[in-house]
């Protein structure tokens, strides 16, 4: 079994509005898979369909090689963007109640509650009412509720919203640890830095359509601008740079004003790092050499804006 989820030709409409239009992709088992898109793109609808909350109008979802059905619900942990806890209920009673709804016995639930609240150093919260907790504290509790029954598939919709950087990092580390233990993670977020840190693959949807799909590293290379940054052991004099530039006119060199040992090179044509390196060695001894790949933020903005321009021109 290579894929945890296979999404095939999913379409969903709400009256005159098409939320998803013939969307297909596969999520490898044991991966962290990002579902990206601007507000209103159809991400939450897609997550709800995969979580079996709403049905598609057409298409099929396979979960672990079987058509998605109610029997899979205990294998899924879902943290929705619109959170909700019972404000007047104590944290401990609420987590115990919800974990039993996911199939845990009371004994199992108490053991796992103690484990997770100890792990996140929040055991003192168990006796407090939810309304006494800050938004960030409530989200930590809901994260525990989502993972408590050790589901094979975890679905997080904007899990870092409202967290300070320290707690966001704690949550990221927990997600990576869950992946290492074999869980498959679906992650919807507007935080592109988190996508680069966590995701193995992504889909990008906008206005119901799938625009991008693939491994993060491959997508970044696809959108590469052939831009390289090199630091030498010694400063490179202007005459040497000019002579090199005359020999290789397809490249443009820029010197770093703050660091005379560093230059940037951009290419007019696609070129691999291994092809450029021997040419750069003619300038001097290299200390660092790296290709500057575009960020997921830049790719996200570029693809969405270009699609909107194309739609407008049509």
Does 96 have pLDDT greater than 50? Answer: yes
pLDDT digits (tens, 9 = 90+) for 248-275: 888 888 888 888 899 999 887 888 888 8
What integer pLDDT is reported at residue 313 of this predicted model? Answer: 40
Percentage of the chain modeled with pLDDT above 70: 97
What mean pLDDT is reported for the chain?
90
Residue 45: strand, helix, or coil: helix
What integer pLDDT is reported at residue 230 of this predicted model? Answer: 93
C-alpha separations of 18 from 15, 42, 57, 208 in Å = 8, 9, 10, 6
What CATH architecture does domain 3-221 belong to?
3-Layer(aba) Sandwich (3.40)
Range with the largest mean pLDDT of 19-28, 62-71, 246-255, 264-273: 19-28
CA distance 182 to 290: 33
CA distance 185 to 29: 9
What integer pLDDT is reported at residue 312 of this predicted model? Answer: 34
What integer pLDDT is reported at residue 237 of this predicted model? Answer: 85
The listed CATH number (1.10.3470, 3.30.519, 3.30.70, 2.60.40) that belongs to domain 225-291: 3.30.70
What integer pLDDT is reported at residue 309 of this predicted model? Answer: 43
What integer pLDDT is reported at residue 80 of this predicted model? Answer: 87
CA distance 272 to 71: 49
Q: How far is CA 113 from the centre of its chain?
A: 27
112: its two tokens: 């796992």
Contact present, 245 and 251 (Cβ < 8 Å): yes
The stretch 91-120 carries a mean pLDDT of 92
> How does residue 308 score in pLDDT terms, banded at 50, 70 and 90?
low
Q: How far is CA 288 from the centre of its chain?
A: 29
Domain locations along the chain: 3-221, 225-291
What integer pLDDT is reported at residue 287 of this predicted model? Answer: 93
pLDDT digits (tens, 9 = 90+) for 170-224: 999 999 999 999 999 999 988 899 999 999 999 999 999 999 999 999 999 889 8
What integer pLDDT is reported at residue 267 of this predicted model? Answer: 86
Contact present, 164 and 115 (Cβ < 8 Å): no
Q: How many other CB atoms sit within 10 Å of the CB of residue 274?
A: 7
Does 37 have pLDDT greater than 80? Answer: yes
What integer pLDDT is reported at residue 58 of this predicted model? Answer: 96
The stretch 20-38 carries a mean pLDDT of 96
Percentage of the chain modeled with pLDDT above 90: 61
For the ranges 21-25, 100-104, 115-119, which has the lowest average pLDDT?
100-104
Q: For 43-71, b where at least 16 C-beta lie within 10 A, e where not — what string?
A: bbbbbbbbbbeeebeebebebbeeebeee
Interhelix angle 135-147/106-119, rounded to 10 degrees, is: 130
C-alpha separations of 7 from 62, 200, 247 in Å = 7, 17, 51
C-alpha separations of 123 from 48, 117, 243 in Å = 31, 5, 67
CA distance 186 to 98: 21
- Does this chain's domain 3-221 share its CATH topology with 225-291? no
What integer pLDDT is reported at residue 85 of this predicted model? Answer: 82
Q: For 2-34, b where at least 16 C-beta lie within 10 A, e where not — what string?
A: ebbbbbeebebeeeeebbbbebebbbebbbbbb
């Amino acid at each position: 079994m290579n894929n945890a989820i296979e999404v095939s030709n999913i379409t969903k409409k709400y009256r005159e509005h098409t939320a998803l239009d013939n969307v297909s992709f596969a999520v490898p088992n044991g991966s962290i898979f990002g579902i990206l898109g601007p507000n209103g793109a159809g991400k939450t609808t897609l997550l709800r369909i995969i979580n079996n909350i709403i049905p598609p109008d057409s298409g099929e979802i396979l979960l672990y090689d079987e058509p998605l059905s109610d029997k899979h619900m205990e294998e899924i942990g879902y943290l929705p963007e619109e959170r909700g806890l019972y404000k007047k209920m104590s944290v401990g009673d609420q987590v115990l109640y919800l974990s039993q709804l996911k199939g845990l016995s009371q004994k199992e639930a108490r053991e796992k509650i103690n484990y997770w609240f100890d792990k996140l150093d929040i055991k003192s919260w168990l006796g407090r009412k939810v309304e006494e907790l800050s938004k960030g504290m409530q989200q930590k509790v809901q994260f525990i509720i989502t993972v408590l029954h050790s589901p094979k598939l975890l679905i997080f919709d904007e899990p870092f919203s409202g967290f300070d950087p320290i707690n966001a990092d704690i949550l990221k580390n927990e997600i990576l640890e869950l992946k290492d233990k074999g869980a498959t993670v679906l992650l919807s977020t507007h935080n592109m830095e988190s996508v680069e840190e966590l995701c193995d693959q992504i889909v990008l949807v906008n206005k119901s359509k799938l625009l991008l799909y693939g491994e993060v590293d491959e997508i970044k290379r696809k959108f590469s601008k052939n831009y390289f940054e090199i630091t030498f052991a010694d400063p490179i004099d202007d005459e040497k740079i000019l002579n090199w530039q005359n020999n290789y006119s397809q490249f443009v060199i820029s010197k770093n004003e703050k660091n005379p040992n560093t230059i940037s090179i951009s290419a007019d044509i696609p070129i691999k790092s291994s092809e450029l390196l021997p040419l750069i060695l003619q300038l001097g001894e290299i200390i660092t050499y790296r290709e500057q790949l575009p960020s997921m933020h830049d790719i996200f903005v570029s693809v969405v804006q270009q699609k909107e321009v194309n739609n407008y021109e049509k």
